[in-house]
Each structure stands twice: as structure tokens, then as C-alpha cells.
Chains A and B, each alone.
Chain A
Amino acid sequence: MATQDIVLDTQEHTSTGVDNVKLAMWAFLGSECLFFASLISTYLLYRNDVLSGPTPSEIYDIPFTSVSSFVLLMSSLTMVLALGAIHRKDERQMRVWLLATAVLGMVFIGGQIYEFTTFVEEGMKLDTSTFSSAFFVLTGFHGAHVTVGILLLLTLVMMSLFGRLSPGAERKVEMIGLYWHFVDIVWVVIFTVVYLIPTNG
């Protein structure tokens, strides 16, 4: 019996009553909070130091990023719908919503790739200034988290297609969902701090 399954079978016996994997996921997300907090603090320290490079207000395309942010937020909705589907034991519909979530995530990542490319063309690279370093590393790590989430979602879809998601399908979807919502919420903070709060520049 795989270790996760032991955990599943014994979850009513945990001392706290909270499932082991869920507790581990919450602990991990707590750790992630400090990870992004450190990156965001660095960005706040450096956001005015643009040297000769473009300033944030010159380079950010806020309508564009707002749209891609909206797309990412909508992916949280489809994630909830996927979880609802598996709660109803409807694996087919769950796959549809998981796939929709992954596609929305990919649209967001596509937007980020486009944004990064544009910035580089306009003369802002990783090594242009401390601002550019802080920007690319912060948003880049967020993008990496979304990418990991997309891989996890696609893995769930594939496992379901091959009939390997059960037992424990609900909990697997719920755990990936927790991660996905967390990554979305972090983006809300990043979008606010990075794009919406005006700088001196």
C-alpha cells in the first residue's frame, strides 16, 4: 500500500483530526508565504532604482496585465468546479474543469512570456538595474509556481484518463487545488504591489 494510501486509510485516526497530507500542504504553503514575502520585500526595496532603464510606469502595460490577472483568477473558479465535480464522483466533468484550469494557467504564462519578451525588447533585462532584477526574479518565481501547478493539473487529468486517480481522487484534487488557489492569491498581492502601487519613477 502506497504511503499516501496508508495516510488515507488512517485519516480518521490522526491526533488532530486533520488529514496528514492536508496538514503538510498547509505547512508547505506557510513556508511559501515567507518565500514570496522575501521576494516582495526585495522588490519594494528596489522598485525606484531603475538607473538608465525604463521606469515601471513607462514599461508596465497595466490593461494587458489586468486581463491576464483576470484569466488567472478565473482559473480558481474552474478549479473549484473541478473539485465539485469529483465530489459528485463525476470524473469526466472533473477532467474538463481541470483541463480548463490548466489552459487558463497556460494563457497566463503565455501572457507573462509575452510581457517579459516585450520588456527585454524595450531595454529592460535582468541585469539592467536592481529594479529589473527584483521584478524578473519575483514574477519569474511566481510564473514557475504556476507552471508547476499546470504540470500537476495535467498529471491529474492523465491519471484520471488511465483510471489511476482513485482511490483518494477527491483528496488529490483538493490538495492540488489548495496549491493552485495559493498561487492565485499570491498573484493578487504581487499584482497590487508591483503593478498598481505607483512609484516615484
Chain B
Amino acid sequence: MYRTATRMGESAMHITSLENPYGDDKVYDACGVFGIMDTTGECFSGQDVVTGLVNMTERGNGLGAGYAIYGCYPDYADCYAFHVMYTNPDNRPQVEARLESSFVMVRAEEVPHNPTPELHAAPLIWRYFLRVDPNHPRVVLLGELEYVVATVMDINIAGIGAYIYSSGKNVGVFKGVGFPLQIAEYFGVTDYKGYIWTAHNRFPTNTPGWWGGAHPFSLLDWTVVHNGEISSYGTNRRFLEMQGYHCTMTTDTEVMAYAADYLMRRHNLPVKVAVKVMAAPLWDDIERMPPEEKALCRTLRQVYGSLLFTGPFTIILAREGEMIGLTDRLRLRPIVAATSGSRLYISSEEAPIRLVNPELDQLWSPIGGVPVVGRVGVPAQVSAPRTASWQREPVAAD
């Protein structure tokens, strides 16, 4: 960890010296996650998300920040919105030729951004709104969604410096190397509107702080932001590669997006079952369960053991119409959730939630492995646990 931190510190000297004026080798940080959802499906500005994430600037070190916005492309809602990062811009024509041969290209443009001198090494980023031709032979063979996944993977593993890091319908990932406010301003994220916003402030410990390694990670309409580290990355990755998912972003979190897609889309597991794979109950707890639940949890651990995530994590997963907060079963990373009217909040800390909304209905710290699920059409209050002693009425912050 130290070796990596030092190497990255060299490439971002100005950040390190700001963070650490004492010149010792300690940086007191962790990643920060923040998410807001409106359970009516109404789209809203990202101002609160940016304010909340910026409040936790301390948790990151300038080596990554990003935002996922659901509902941001209403004019192209029926198109797959590919965000493609070119570390080698010369290969853009090659990638575009591939996309044009694979899809109906409805629109292609560079992702709008504002000149931000303090961000360095910003890659060229384009976005493509694409329709699938249902009569394309491979689409007929694979099915539409598998076809999209396969195309994303093909391009990402081609080794041509092109990375598709956002590929869902009416969802966009905006991320890069910088502090939360810098990345928000670079992409002008507050110009978009969405009904789910998830956001991430990065403090990389094990993997490089590069633009593709910033969170959120995404595939189809799945996005994930993550605080922690996945000790089981190798196992998870090997399993997912056998299922056609390829890891190209050199960050552990990537496997979570693919695992979510595998479990909840391909295998159609409900959220409450999938989380028992990713944050499986401990064997001791399983032993005390009623027979049916015990059998289910044992079976899940046996069938999907390779998708158990070990190590500390707090994640906010999202897909169309749904936002899910989850921690590892021992809750080795912090999580706070809150509701206010139709809004659901999930955060690494409580303060940013209160900063953007002083009038909360409920506030609680979910137990490790117990998901917080917000769904469009389901009142936000339902997300709170039924056992009232785990949740407190919020204290008026006066």
C-alpha cells in the first residue's frame, strides 16, 4: 500500500503537499460515497450531490472522483449511451467504425467539458447514442443485452487505448482524476438532471489513480461506487472472465459491476438474494436460520462462492429505477442512510446528508450485509429497517 501511495504521490505532488503540509508520510483518508434517489422518479439537479460529496473532500486525495446520473439522456432514452475514453485518440476512427458496423449510430459527439487547467492528463472522451438492430445475426444469436455486453468487452480488451466505461440507456457516468468539485465542474454535471445520482471521492490504495480507474464502474445500466478493497478480487475476476466479463480498468471495484450484472440480470436473482451472495451471511449465522432460509443461504454460498466479496466495502449499486446501499457483512466501512419525503440518501458520513437536507424523516446505519434498497414507485420510508431500535428519529441539527 505504501509503495503504491508513494508512486502515485510523485505524479500528484501538488496534491500531496496540500494534503499533508507536515511532510510526513501519513495521509488520513478513505474513499467517500454519496447517493441520492427520488423514489417518485422525478429528475432533479445534481447540486445537492456535488455539495454532499464536496463536503467529504477530506476522504479522497484528488486521484479520482465521479458521478453516475440516471435519467440524464431523456432525448435518447431508447439508445445505449456509450461513453468512450480514448487514451490513444488515434484509434477513435477504428472504434467508431466498429460501433457503426455493430449498431445504428444515432448521435456521436465529444462529451462536453469545461477547460480546467488543474486537471492533468484528461483523455479524449466521446459519447455515442446507439440503437441495436434486432435483425443483426449476432443479436439474434446472443440477445440484445448480451450483444451489447460482448461488444463493450471486445473493444475494452482490444488493447487500442479505448475504454467504454458507460453503456446503459438513459444513464451516464462522468468520472476522472481530480477532486469531487473539479470533476463536477469539468463535466458540468449540475447541468444534467437525474432521478438517481451516485457519486464517489477516491483515495486509491492498491491500484493506479487513472481516469478509467475512477468510480463509478458501469456496465449496461449498472453502476457501482465503492469505499474499501476487495480481497477476493482475483477469485471474483477469474470467475467472471469465464462468464465473458473482462476486467480492463485495473481497479477491484470493476468486478462488482459485472457481478451485479451476472447475478441480477443474467441469473435474474432478486436484490435480497444477490446480496446474500456478495455479502454472504457467516456460517454461524446460517446455522441459526430457519430451515428454508438456511438451505437457501447454503446453496447460494455453494453455487456462487466465487462471487462472495471479502474484505471491507461499502458500495452504492444502482440500475434503472433502483439504488442499493450495501456493506460487507462485518461493516468494515461506514454507511449512513436517511429519508426525507420521497428522497433516499446513502452516504459514507452523516454530515453531508444534513448539509443538503436539514429536514430528515429517518436516519440509520444499516447493519453489515443488509441492503438499503430504494425503488422508483416505492415510498422511500420503506427502505428503513422495520426494527425500530436500529434507527433513530433524527436529532434536530440546530
- A and B associate in one complex: no
Binding site for A on B (CB under 8 A): none
Binding site for B on A (CB under 8 A): none
